[in-house]
Structure 1
Amino acid sequence: MATAAPTEALLERLGSTRRRSEELVSGLEPEDLGLQGMADASPPKWNLGHTTWFFETFLLRPHLPGYTPADSRWGYLFNSYYDAIGARHPRPERGLLSRPVIAEVIAWRRRVDAGLTALLERLGNESGPEAEPLLALLELGLQHEQQHQELLLMDLLDGFSRNPLEPAAWVGGAGPEAGYGPSQVAGPLRWLDGPSGLVEIGHPANGGGFHFDNEAPRHRVWLEPYAIANRLVRNGDYAAFIADGGYERPELWLSEGWAAALAEGWQAPRYWRGSGPASGWEWEFSLAGRRPLHPEAPIRHLSWFEADAYARWAGARLPSEAEWEAVACAAALQAGADGCGVRIAEVDGLLWQWTASPYRPYPGFQPAAGAVGEYNGKFMSSQMVLRGGSFLTQAQHARPTYRNFFPPGNRWMASGLRLARDAS
Structure 2
Amino acid sequence: MMEAKHMQKAELLAELALTRKRTRELITSLDEQQLDVPYHPGVNPPLWEMGHAAFFYEVFVFSLLDGDASFDPSMDDLWDSFHIDHQDRWRRDLFPGLKKTLAYFDHVYAKMAGRIERTPLTDRELYLCRYAIYHQNMHIESLVWCRQTVGFAPPPGASFERPAPSELRGSSLGDDAIVPAGDWLIGMPGDSEQYATEDFAFDAEKPRHAVSLDEFAISRCLVSNHEFMAFVEDGGYQKPELWSFGGQKWLRTDINMAPQHPVYWRWQDNQWQEKLFDQWQSLSPDAPVTHVSYWEAEAYCCWAGRRLPTEQEWEVAALGNRKGETFQRYPWGNELPDAVQADMNATGMAQNPVSDYPAGDSPFGCRQMIGSVWEWTSSQFFPYDGFCIDMYPFMSTLQFGDHKVSRGGGCATSFSLIRGTYRQAYLPQRNDVYTGFRTCALPEG
Q: TM-score, normalised by structure 2?
A: 0.81
Q: Which amino acid aligns with 1:385?
A: V
Separation (CA, whole Å) in 2 of partners of 1:197 and 1:12: 41
The residue number in structure 2 matching 1:396 is 416
Report the Cα distance in structure 1 between the residues aligned to 2:247 and 2:12, rounded to whole angstroms. Answer: 45
- Per the alignment, residue 176 of structure 1 pairs with 158
Aligned 8 A contact 1:182 1:298 in 2: no
Once the 2 structures are TM-superposed, how far is the Cα of residue 248 of structure 1 from its aligned partner? 0.5
Indicate conservation of the 8 Å contact 1:37/1:159, yes or no: no
- Work out the CA distance in 1 between the residues paired with 2:259 and 2:89: 27
| Match of residue 28 from structure 2 | 26
Which letter does structure 2 place at the counterpart of 1:190?
A: D
1:256-278 CA-to-partner distances (Å, cap 9, x unmatched) read 21111122221111111224xxx
Indicate yes or no: 2:45 matched with 1:73. Answer: no
**Could you say which residue in structure 1 is the equivalent of 2:378?**
356
- The Cα shift of 1:179 comes to 8.8
In structure 1, which of residues 394, 409, 418 is the aligned counterpart of residue 429 of structure 2? 409
The residue matched to 1:176 in structure 2 has which SS? coil
1:23-422 alignment runs, 5 A limit? 23-64=25-66, 69-81=70-82, 88-98=83-93, 99-124=95-120, 131-160=122-151, 167-169=152-154, 175-178=157-160, 186=168, 188=172, 190-204=175-189, 208-263=198-253, 264=256, 265-275=258-268, 282-287=272-277, 289-330=279-320, 339-340=328-329, 342=334, 344-345=336-337, 346=342, 348-349=367-368, 350-369=372-391, 372-422=392-442
C-alpha separation in 1, matches of 2:161 and 2:178: 28
8 Å contact 1:48–1:105 — kept in the other structure? yes
Name the CA distance, whole Å, in 1 between partners of 2:293 and 2:207.
28
Amino acid in the other structure paired with 2:28: S
1:35-88 per-residue CA deviation (whole Å, 9 max, x = no partner) reads 1441221011111111101001121134346x563322311111113xxxxxx2
Deviations 1:146-204 (A, max 9, x none): 111011110221122xxxxxx5345xxx8435498899994626311024222221114
CA contact (8 A) 1:274 1:281 kept: yes
Contact 2:231 2:303 (C-alpha < 8 Å) held by counterparts: yes
CA separation in 1, counterparts of 2:164 and 2:418? 20
Q: Secondary structure at the match of 1:354?
A: strand
- Mapped contact 2:58–2:70 kept (Cα < 8 A): yes
Alignment CA distance shift 1:392-1:177 (3 Å): farther
SS, match of residue 221 in structure 1: strand
Alpha-carbon distance in 2 for matches of 1:142, 1:110: 14
Secondary structure class of the residue paired with 1:25: helix
Question: What is the RMSD of the two structures over their aligned residues, measured on CA atoms?
Answer: 2.7
- Pairs aligned (count): 393
Counterpart code for 1:41: V
Q: CA deviation at 1:423?
A: 4.8
Residue aligning to 1:164:
none
- Residues 23 and 50, structure 2, Cα contact 8 Å, conserved in 1: yes
1:306-336 Cα shifts (integer Å, max 9, x gaps): 0000011000000001001001103x99xx9
Distance 1:412 1:343, change over 3 A: farther
Structure 1 length as normaliser, TM-score? 0.85
SS in 1 for 2:75: helix
Q: Give deviations 1:377-404, integer Å, cap 9, x for gaps.
A: 2321200011111111111222110101
Is the contact made by 2:35 and 2:45 (CA closer than 8 Å) also made in structure 1? Answer: yes
Q: Which amino acid aligns with 1:92?
A: Q
CA spacing shift, 1:21–1:388, aligned 2, 3 Å: same
SS of alignment partner, residue 416 of structure 2: helix
Note closer, same or farther for the CA distance 1:381–1:24 as it changes in structure 2 (3 Å cut). same
Deviation of the 1:12 alpha carbon: 2.4
Query: Partner amino acid for 1:200?
Result: L
* 2:108 partner amino acid: V
Who is 2:18 aligned against? 16
Residues 97-152 of structure 1 show CA distances to partners (whole Å, capped at 9, x for unaligned) of: 3531111111011211122123223323xx7xxx3323211100111111110111
Q: Secondary structure at 1:396's aligned position in 2?
A: coil
**Distance in 2 of aligned mates of 1:197 and 1:36:** 51
Asked if 2 retains the 8 angstrom alpha-carbon contact of 1:179 and 1:391, the reply is no
Cα distance in 1, alignment partners of residues 39 and 434 from structure 2: 17
